[in-house]
Structure 1
Amino acid sequence: MNMLTRTRTALRAFRRAFTGGYDIVGNSGRWPGAYTLNAPISQQLAAGRLASRRVAHQTENNSLISSIVQHMTTALIADGPTARAAHPDPEIAAHLHRAWNAFYSDCSIEGRQSLGGYLSRVARGLMIDGESFSKLITDPQTMRLKLQLLTADQIDSSRTVPSLGLTGDAPMIIAGVEFADDGGIVAYWVFKSPPDAPWASVEPAVRVDAMDICHVVEHRFPGSVRGVSPLTAVAPLAMELDQALDAAVVKMKVTALMSMIVRDVDGNVPLDAATDPASLHLEPGATLRLPPGTDVTFPPVAEMSTVAEVMTHIERLICAGSGVPYFLAAGDLAAVNFSAGKLGMASFQRRVRAIQQNHIVAQLLNPIWDRLVLLEVLSGRLHAPDYESNPERYTASFLFPGWPAIDELKTAKANTLAVAAKLRSRADIIAEQGRDIADVDAEIAADPYADDDLSSSATNITNQTETETQNA
């Protein structure tokens, strides 16, 4: 028995030393049993649609979440990007620009919507649903491209068909996304109309080739199929913030009500018109004469001096989790100086540029441009003999609107010094503002006031000190 006891003790010590050597494994008891993400892909698929519905509700009812979605959507798209064709032939590039501008002004199958407005809806879907689907539709009469925005619910998330890998077996379908044997996406299963639309179609989902669907999504895990809202992590905090705000408002209303309690200390005061609680009223400017043996007490009022700090801390956590600076989302610019504002905006701008290039451009704008060029060639409107031999010439880069400078004079001085020191080019600086250097040079050439005198004046201003600039 002693030997068995010693063996058990040794095994427990071994388990503590090697299995539970890290507190993260949970053997310390600090970690709840459900505090793990055991199957990220499956758990994301199971929670994604519910998360989007709750975030959508908060977007329409929570002022802070609504502000975050609005600022992120505006930062991502603004009034829309500018396309710059890469073709070296000026005539072909000009033709592609004209085709792009015509498509830009009226891109939606619904009609009368510019690409900037359409992309704003895409960015909003990316924030709320974690994904956005666009269908490329070709008008058979005009051979023009149109876009149809699909809701995330239009992709049949209930359609999941496993594949056994046998010859002639059905393809693998996960949450409405069909895969080939090599893992590539080949099709999507799409409902004709949104399931929540009035008089929605009851027809089953139909198969749409992946070439005609643009799926804008940020995959968080390898192998993930669908997206999840980036606000999922902060949604619980936003709900707590709503509850705390409601409670604070109720508390302030109760505190604003002045009330008192008249007590009979000795218990010998007879009730009459002056002492009957039903007849006592406290009014502004009134003086109550109480009989001997009575006193007045007031209900205790809880301290609320720290409520604002707690709520502000929660708001900062929500903004940090969403990637939007607190002073932007909350509109609190009281404590923001130039350095703090520039530092906060720099991180936000880098995040916005990453989403623009990695998702908006790569997953949506590039396929749109390729289809647009293809239709121009197939319709005969564009003579492109090198289209098949040199496809890289028919690509484009997209320039999004730039960010307004916090201090325009300091930014202009910094850009001028960077160009003079050959650390940056004019094209780089102009592209930051979402414009093409060719357009800017053409405007300067047509401007009769763009002469050397203005250039020398700009150089003199750049060389001025801060004090000289303020006194000028």
Structure 2
Amino acid sequence: MSLLRRTKAAWRAFTASYDATSTGRRSRSWGGVNGGPNAPAASLPTLRNRSRDAVRNDPLADAAIDVAVTNVIGTGIKPQFATSDAGLNKDLAALWLDWTDEADPAGQLDFYGLQALAVRSMIEGGDAFGRFRLRRPEDGLDVPLQIQVLEGEFCPAEKSEMNGANSIISGVEFTPFGSRTAYWFYREHPYDGTNPRMQAGLPVRVPASEVFHLMQVRRPGQVRGEPWLTRALVKLNELAQYDDAELKRKQIAAMFVGFRRRPVPEGMTPEDLAEAWGGGAEIEDGIGHVSLEPGTMQDLEPGEDVEFTAPVDVGGNYEVFLRAQRRLVASAAGVLYEQLTGDYSQVNDRTFRASVNEFRRRCQAWQHHLAVFQMCRPTHRQWMAAAVLSGAVRPPRSMTERDLLRVKWVPQGWSYIHPVQDVQSQQMAVRNGFKSRAEVVSEQGYDAEQIDAEQAADNARADAVGLSYDSDGRRAVSDPTKTTETEGV
């Protein structure tokens, strides 16, 4: 057997075990394209435009983004400073809290509002950028730093070229070693025609140290993100058209219209009829328009007749079909169907708990991999550098930079699904040493040291006036595994 025949036989033997590699009748029209992680960058503007159009006009698309932003950011992912100096941690927390109200150059949002804005822009447009803006001392900021959130359009995805030894891929400049060294931005939004300062100039180079880039990385080597609704855009568009068509069918079916045909008197010409009866229907380009309104009686001209279609009613399948399609949309957007639609009629307590726990794990991954690592940590480094250089923070001389930058980012806590059971399980976990009390407090989005200080103040105030409460941790607490008759009510 020749080498060519042996090669073909080996290839057939290899592909025979994979149905997805067959080229038969079922797979003949299945055309897969082998593209790199940045090959779709050319279609990014179209994807972004369609995603923004869906969010503007489709309530499902807008609700999907709101659900994701609410659960990933909520009221904010907040820092808990963890340097080796407890007094410095307290001062840093107070300074950070004062600065959050000054973080937005426009003065519309605090830092946590900027978090939500950046994440929403990333989900809707594929990626979002933050430009760190250092300010002068005379600007009067607690820390001379502000953050300008930029949409993905500011960085031209079509800009791919060489800049000396560096390569520019989709508006991001890389060193020969593959590290990001700069971003290229337009000075103004390139599609904001209402801005009187709009300049149709070329993008300018901004060092990567002055920028954070928020995007979901789906493939190694991917440079730009894609809108999270990408896999749902076609279905959203077609589903909206179907729903509109069904609504129009219902409107037509609900029209009860009567037609009155009048005899033509002998000897009257069409001109006489038009003058006597007020003319016929409005004519436009040779087409007569007769408006249908409930409860009307429509006169017809002599010889005219009307034939109506009888649209078939979808019956009880309409709701089932919409529910199935909306589940696919929710799955493509990464949220729960119940969250997307507000329809909880198909779930019970167990299935809802299982689905919510799975969704929360997904949100925790988004929080850590995206919001914290790509936005919060770069912001904290820039904030600390600006605070130290401006004299707002004076760390001990012996403290290293690594120690100064130690921080724990804590998202907003999840609401209890079963408050009594959830709190009791946390209490048992702490008592049995499975987790610390500080970790339980952090999971709820609070600081254990702050809670301890508040409890101490509450106890001191109660002792001063001779009051005693069950909330006093110095009192003996009953076994949490034992319930009273009223706890299950």
- TM-score between both structures, scaled by the size of structure 2: 0.81
Within 5 Å, give how 1:39-54 maps onto structure 2: 39-54=35-50
| 1:183 and 2:178 correspond | yes
Partner of 1:36: 32
Residues 261-272 of structure 1 mapped to structure 2, 5 A cutoff: none
Task: Describe the shift of the 1:462–1:161 C-alpha distance in structure 2 as closer, same or farther (beyond 3 A).
Answer: same
Tell me, yes or no, if the aligned pair for 1:109 and 1:148 is still in contact at 8 Å: yes
For the 8 Å contact 2:128–2:215, the answer to whether it is kept is: yes
What corresponds to 1:229 in structure 2?
227
Deviation (angstroms), 1:229: 1.1
**Structure 1 counterpart of 2:149:** 149
Is 2:335 aligned against 1:324? yes
2:247 corresponds to which residue? 249
Counterpart CA distance in 2 for 1:216 and 1:46 is 19
| Partner deviation per Cα, 1:192-218 (whole Å, 9 max, x = no partner) | 010011242122111000000000111
User: Which of 200, 207, 210 pairs up with 1:209?
Assistant: 207
Give the drift of 1:345: 1.1
Return closer, same or farther for 1:406/1:457 CA change in 2, 3 Å cut-off.
farther
**Which residue is 1:422 aligned to?**
433
Indicate the SS of the match to 2:246: helix
Select between 77-86 and 37-46 the one with higher mean Cα deviation: 37-46
2:41 maps to a residue whose letter is: L
Instruction: Give the drift of 1:77.
Output: 1.2
Q: What is the deviation of 1:335?
A: 3.2
* Matched positions, count: 434
Cα shift readout 1:268-327 (whole Å, capped 9, x = no counterpart): xxx979xxxxxxxxx99xxxxxxxxxxxx9947434321211111000111112221111
Of 308, 311, 319, the match for 2:319: 308
CA pair 377-332 structure 1, distance change in 2 beyond 3 A: same
CA distance in 2, matches of 1:405, 1:55: 33
Letter matched to residue 246 of structure 2: A
CA deviations over 1:129-170 (Å, ceiling 9, x no partner): 12110000110235611001111011122221147xxxxx44
**Is residue 133–residue 150 contact of structure 1 (8 Å, CA) maintained in 2?**
yes
1:289 alignment counterpart: none
Question: Which residue of the other structure, out of 237, 240, 252, is the alignment partner of 2:238?
Answer: 240
Do the aligned partners of 2:427 and 2:480 also contact (CA within 8 Å) in 1?
no
Give % identity. Answer: 24
Q: Take 2:150 and 2:311, find their aligned partners in 1: how far apart are those partners? A: 56
Letter in 1 for 2:107: G
Instruction: Find 2:69's aligned residue among 73, 76, 81.
Output: 73
Deviates more, 1:138-147 or 1:318-327: 138-147
Structure 2 residue runs of 5 or longer lacking an equivalent are: 265-293, 296-307
Deviations 1:388-416 (A, max 9, x none): 73423422111111111122112112212
Distance 1:258 1:426, change over 3 A: same
Describe how 1:132-147 pairs up with structure 2 within 5 A.
132-141=128-137, 144-147=144-147
Counterpart among 70, 80, 103 of residue 107 in structure 1: 103
Structure 2 CA distance, aligned partners of 1:41 and 1:298? 51
Deviation digits for residues 361-419 of structure 1 (CA, Å, limit 9, x no counterpart):
11111111111111122122322244773423422111111111122112112212222
Q: Give the secondary-structure state (helix, strand or coil) at the position aligned to 2:221.
A: coil
State the SS of the aligned residue for 2:37.
Answer: helix
Q: For residues 34 and 172 of structure 1, what CA distance do their matches in structure 2 show?
A: 35
Q: Tell me, yes or no, if the aligned pair for 1:387 and 1:394 is still in contact at 8 Å.
A: no
For 1:415, what is the secondary structure of its paired residue? helix
- Alpha-carbon offset, residue 353 of structure 1: 1.0
Q: Is the 8 A contact 1:104 1:115 kept in 2?
A: yes
Task: Return the alpha-carbon distance in structure 2 between the equivalents of residues 12 and 381 of structure 1.
Answer: 73
* Change in 2 beyond 3 A, CA 1:374/1:298: closer
The one-letter code of the counterpart of 1:38 is N
Q: How far, CA to CA, are the matches of 2:191 and 2:445 in structure 1?
A: 38
